[in-house]
Amino acid sequence: MRTQRAAQPAPLITVQTNGLVDEHTAEHVRGRIAELARYAHRPIDCGTVWFSQPGARSRAAIIGHATLLVGGIQLVAFATGATVRQAADQVRTALRRQLVDLAHHRRARVGPRTVPSRVLVRHVTTMPGCASPEQAVLELVRAGQRFGLYLDTSTDRDSAVWRTAEDGYGFAANTDDALVLSEACAIERLELTGEPSLFFRERTSQRGRLLYRRDGDYVLLHPAA
Protein backbone atom coordinates (compact mmCIF):
# COMPACT_ATOMS: atom_id res chain seq x y z
CA MET A 1 0.00 0.00 0.00
CA ARG A 2 1.40 3.36 -1.00
CA THR A 3 1.64 5.92 1.78
CA GLN A 4 1.45 9.62 1.18
CA ARG A 5 4.23 11.87 2.35
CA ALA A 6 3.18 13.99 5.31
CA ALA A 7 2.59 17.62 4.44
CA GLN A 8 5.36 19.92 5.58
CA PRO A 9 4.57 23.13 7.44
CA ALA A 10 4.76 26.25 5.31
CA PRO A 11 8.31 27.63 5.52
CA LEU A 12 8.92 31.15 6.79
CA ILE A 13 10.10 33.12 3.76
CA THR A 14 11.20 36.73 4.18
CA VAL A 15 11.23 39.03 1.16
CA GLN A 16 13.33 42.16 1.58
CA THR A 17 11.90 44.82 -0.72
CA ASN A 18 14.80 47.31 -0.71
CA GLY A 19 12.51 49.79 -2.42
CA LEU A 20 12.29 47.60 -5.54
CA VAL A 21 9.29 45.42 -4.70
CA ASP A 22 5.71 46.36 -3.87
CA GLU A 23 3.79 44.29 -1.33
CA HIS A 24 1.73 42.46 -3.95
CA THR A 25 4.86 41.33 -5.79
CA ALA A 26 6.57 40.45 -2.51
CA GLU A 27 3.66 38.18 -1.59
CA HIS A 28 3.83 36.53 -5.02
CA VAL A 29 7.57 35.89 -4.62
CA ARG A 30 7.06 34.60 -1.08
CA GLY A 31 4.49 32.10 -2.28
CA ARG A 32 6.60 30.92 -5.21
CA ILE A 33 9.62 30.25 -3.00
CA ALA A 34 7.49 28.59 -0.31
CA GLU A 35 6.23 26.13 -2.96
CA LEU A 36 9.75 24.69 -3.09
CA ALA A 37 8.98 22.78 0.11
CA ARG A 38 7.62 19.97 -2.08
CA TYR A 39 11.14 19.31 -3.40
CA ALA A 40 12.90 19.35 -0.02
CA HIS A 41 13.92 16.10 1.69
CA ARG A 42 13.50 17.84 5.05
CA PRO A 43 11.34 20.80 6.11
CA ILE A 44 12.64 24.20 5.00
CA ASP A 45 13.42 26.06 8.21
CA CYS A 46 13.39 29.51 6.64
CA GLY A 47 14.49 31.52 3.66
CA THR A 48 15.32 35.05 2.60
CA VAL A 49 14.90 36.65 -0.82
CA TRP A 50 16.08 40.10 -1.81
CA PHE A 51 16.71 42.09 -4.95
CA SER A 52 19.26 44.61 -6.11
CA GLN A 53 20.04 46.69 -9.17
CA PRO A 54 23.49 46.37 -10.76
CA GLY A 55 25.58 49.23 -12.07
CA ALA A 56 24.60 51.18 -15.16
CA ARG A 57 27.00 49.19 -17.36
CA SER A 58 25.36 45.87 -16.57
CA ARG A 59 22.87 44.35 -19.01
CA ALA A 60 20.79 42.94 -16.16
CA ALA A 61 17.98 45.09 -14.82
CA ILE A 62 17.39 43.18 -11.57
CA ILE A 63 19.47 40.68 -9.61
CA GLY A 64 17.63 38.25 -7.36
CA HIS A 65 19.36 36.70 -4.35
CA ALA A 66 18.03 33.95 -2.10
CA THR A 67 19.03 31.66 0.75
CA LEU A 68 17.21 28.64 2.15
CA LEU A 69 18.05 26.79 5.35
CA VAL A 70 17.19 23.10 5.06
CA GLY A 71 18.12 20.79 7.91
CA GLY A 72 21.22 22.80 8.84
CA ILE A 73 22.34 23.19 5.21
CA GLN A 74 22.20 26.61 3.62
CA LEU A 75 21.44 26.85 -0.09
CA VAL A 76 22.40 30.03 -1.90
CA ALA A 77 21.27 31.17 -5.35
CA PHE A 78 21.22 34.30 -7.46
CA ALA A 79 19.93 35.11 -10.93
CA THR A 80 19.11 38.05 -13.16
CA GLY A 81 15.97 39.17 -14.93
CA ALA A 82 14.41 42.09 -16.72
CA THR A 83 11.87 42.41 -13.89
CA VAL A 84 11.65 41.38 -10.25
CA ARG A 85 9.31 38.50 -11.08
CA GLN A 86 11.60 37.20 -13.82
CA ALA A 87 14.60 37.33 -11.49
CA ALA A 88 12.56 35.59 -8.78
CA ASP A 89 11.54 32.81 -11.19
CA GLN A 90 15.17 32.24 -12.18
CA VAL A 91 16.22 32.12 -8.52
CA ARG A 92 13.42 29.66 -7.80
CA THR A 93 14.62 27.41 -10.63
CA ALA A 94 18.17 27.44 -9.26
CA LEU A 95 16.98 26.61 -5.74
CA ARG A 96 14.71 23.84 -7.00
CA ARG A 97 17.65 22.24 -8.80
CA GLN A 98 19.71 22.34 -5.60
CA LEU A 99 16.88 20.87 -3.52
CA VAL A 100 16.39 18.00 -5.96
CA ASP A 101 20.12 17.30 -5.99
CA LEU A 102 20.24 17.48 -2.20
CA ALA A 103 17.33 15.05 -1.89
CA HIS A 104 19.26 12.58 -4.05
CA HIS A 105 22.43 13.07 -2.00
CA ARG A 106 24.22 14.89 -4.80
CA ARG A 107 26.04 18.16 -4.41
CA ALA A 108 24.33 20.95 -6.33
CA ARG A 109 26.10 23.11 -8.88
CA VAL A 110 26.01 25.98 -6.40
CA GLY A 111 27.24 23.95 -3.48
CA PRO A 112 25.34 23.95 -0.19
CA ARG A 113 27.18 25.46 2.74
CA THR A 114 26.81 23.80 6.12
CA VAL A 115 26.13 26.16 8.99
CA PRO A 116 28.92 25.72 11.56
CA SER A 117 27.98 23.24 14.27
CA ARG A 118 27.45 24.89 17.64
CA VAL A 119 25.81 23.82 20.88
CA LEU A 120 22.50 25.48 21.72
CA VAL A 121 21.88 25.81 25.46
CA ARG A 122 18.34 26.64 26.55
CA HIS A 123 17.49 28.45 29.76
CA VAL A 124 14.24 29.68 31.23
CA THR A 125 14.81 33.22 32.42
CA THR A 126 15.10 33.80 36.15
CA MET A 127 14.76 37.58 35.95
CA PRO A 128 11.71 38.92 37.77
CA GLY A 129 9.19 41.18 36.09
CA CYS A 130 10.34 44.78 35.77
CA ALA A 131 8.31 47.96 35.40
CA SER A 132 11.01 50.00 33.64
CA PRO A 133 14.30 49.65 31.75
CA GLU A 134 16.09 51.12 34.77
CA GLN A 135 14.73 48.38 37.01
CA ALA A 136 15.75 45.77 34.43
CA VAL A 137 19.32 47.09 34.47
CA LEU A 138 19.41 46.86 38.26
CA GLU A 139 18.19 43.25 38.15
CA LEU A 140 20.74 42.37 35.46
CA VAL A 141 23.57 43.85 37.53
CA ARG A 142 22.30 42.14 40.68
CA ALA A 143 22.34 38.77 38.89
CA GLY A 144 25.84 39.39 37.50
CA GLN A 145 24.67 38.61 33.96
CA ARG A 146 25.28 40.27 30.61
CA PHE A 147 21.97 39.27 28.96
CA GLY A 148 18.51 39.11 30.48
CA LEU A 149 14.94 38.36 29.44
CA TYR A 150 12.05 39.63 31.53
CA LEU A 151 8.38 40.55 31.49
CA ASP A 152 7.79 44.29 31.32
CA THR A 153 4.98 44.60 33.86
CA SER A 154 3.97 48.03 32.57
CA THR A 155 3.19 46.70 29.07
CA ASP A 156 2.88 42.93 29.70
CA ARG A 157 5.43 42.30 26.93
CA ASP A 158 8.44 40.01 26.89
CA SER A 159 11.49 42.27 26.87
CA ALA A 160 15.27 42.00 26.85
CA VAL A 161 18.17 43.92 28.31
CA TRP A 162 21.87 43.42 27.68
CA ARG A 163 25.22 45.04 28.28
CA THR A 164 26.86 46.50 25.20
CA ALA A 165 30.55 46.47 24.31
CA GLU A 166 30.74 50.13 25.37
CA ASP A 167 29.47 49.26 28.89
CA GLY A 168 26.09 50.72 28.07
CA TYR A 169 22.79 48.84 27.88
CA GLY A 170 20.55 47.78 25.03
CA PHE A 171 16.84 47.07 25.19
CA ALA A 172 14.23 45.34 23.03
CA ALA A 173 10.59 44.36 23.44
CA ASN A 174 8.07 42.06 21.80
CA THR A 175 6.31 44.86 19.95
CA ASP A 176 4.47 44.73 16.63
CA ASP A 177 7.67 45.40 14.68
CA ALA A 178 9.74 42.71 16.43
CA LEU A 179 11.41 40.14 14.19
CA VAL A 180 9.28 37.00 13.85
CA LEU A 181 11.56 33.99 13.39
CA SER A 182 11.85 30.30 14.08
CA GLU A 183 14.72 29.31 16.34
CA ALA A 184 16.61 27.89 13.35
CA CYS A 185 16.23 31.15 11.43
CA ALA A 186 17.33 33.17 14.44
CA ILE A 187 20.52 31.12 14.69
CA GLU A 188 21.13 31.53 10.96
CA ARG A 189 20.63 35.28 11.20
CA LEU A 190 23.01 35.58 14.14
CA GLU A 191 25.56 33.45 12.31
CA LEU A 192 25.37 35.59 9.19
CA THR A 193 25.38 38.99 10.89
CA GLY A 194 28.06 38.25 13.48
CA GLU A 195 26.12 40.21 16.10
CA PRO A 196 26.52 39.14 19.76
CA SER A 197 22.78 38.73 20.39
CA LEU A 198 19.34 38.75 18.81
CA PHE A 199 15.92 39.39 20.33
CA PHE A 200 13.01 37.95 18.34
CA ARG A 201 9.43 36.75 18.57
CA GLU A 202 9.32 32.97 18.27
CA ARG A 203 7.11 32.06 15.32
CA THR A 204 4.96 29.39 16.99
CA SER A 205 4.49 30.66 20.53
CA GLN A 206 4.61 34.39 19.66
CA ARG A 207 6.67 34.88 22.83
CA GLY A 208 9.91 36.81 23.04
CA ARG A 209 13.26 35.02 22.95
CA LEU A 210 16.81 36.24 23.45
CA LEU A 211 19.58 34.41 21.61
CA TYR A 212 23.20 35.23 22.33
CA ARG A 213 26.72 33.91 21.94
CA ARG A 214 28.74 32.41 24.77
CA ASP A 215 32.14 30.73 24.42
CA GLY A 216 31.55 29.89 20.76
CA ASP A 217 28.10 28.39 21.35
CA TYR A 218 24.58 29.81 21.63
CA VAL A 219 22.33 30.41 24.61
CA LEU A 220 18.58 30.82 24.11
CA LEU A 221 16.59 32.46 26.90
CA HIS A 222 12.92 31.52 27.13
CA PRO A 223 10.31 33.46 29.11
CA ALA A 224 8.90 31.91 32.25
CA ALA A 225 5.51 30.25 31.69
- Supply the CATH number for residue 97's domain: 3.30.160.100
User: What average pLDDT does the structure give for the chain?
Assistant: 83
Q: What is the mean pLDDT of residues 160-184?
A: 87
pTM of structure: 0.56
With a cut of 90, say whether residue 105 has pLDDT above it. no
DSSP conformation class of 162: E
With a cut of 90, say whether residue 191 has pLDDT above it. no
Residue 36 to residue 63: CA distance in whole angstroms: 20
Over the stretch 135-163, which tens digit does the pLDDT of each residue have? 999 999 999 999 999 999 999 999 999 99
39: left (phi over 0), alpha (psi -120 to 50) or beta: alpha
With a cut of 50, say whether residue 175 has pLDDT above it. yes
Q: How confident is the model at residue 55 (pLDDT cuts 50, 70, 90)?
A: low
Clarify whether residues 129 and 91 are in a common domain.
no
Helix (H) or strand (E) holding 192: helix 183-193
Q: How confident is the model at residue 54 (pLDDT cuts 50, 70, 90)?
A: low
Clarify whether residues 48 and 105 are in a common domain.
yes
Residue 29 lies in a domain: yes
Per-residue pLDDT, 106? 44
Per-residue pLDDT, 148? 96
Per the structure, the count of domains in the chain is: 2
Percent of the chain with pLDDT over 70: 86
Residue 3 lies in a domain: no
Residue ranges making up the domain that contains 76: 12-114
- Supply the CATH number for residue 169's domain: 3.30.505.50
Q: How confident is the model at residue 126 (pLDDT cuts 50, 70, 90)?
A: very high
Clarify whether residues 160 and 110 are in a common domain.
no
Task: Calculate the alpha carbon distances from 176 to 132, 173, 201, 208, 209 in Å.
Answer: 19, 9, 10, 12, 15
Clarify whether residues 89 and 155 are in a common domain.
no
Clarify whether residues 105 and 34 are in a common domain.
yes
Per-residue pLDDT, 97? 87
Per-residue pLDDT, 171? 95
Clarify whether residues 145 and 216 are in a common domain.
yes
Kindly give the interhelix angle for 23-34 and 84-103, rounded to the nearest 10 degrees: 20
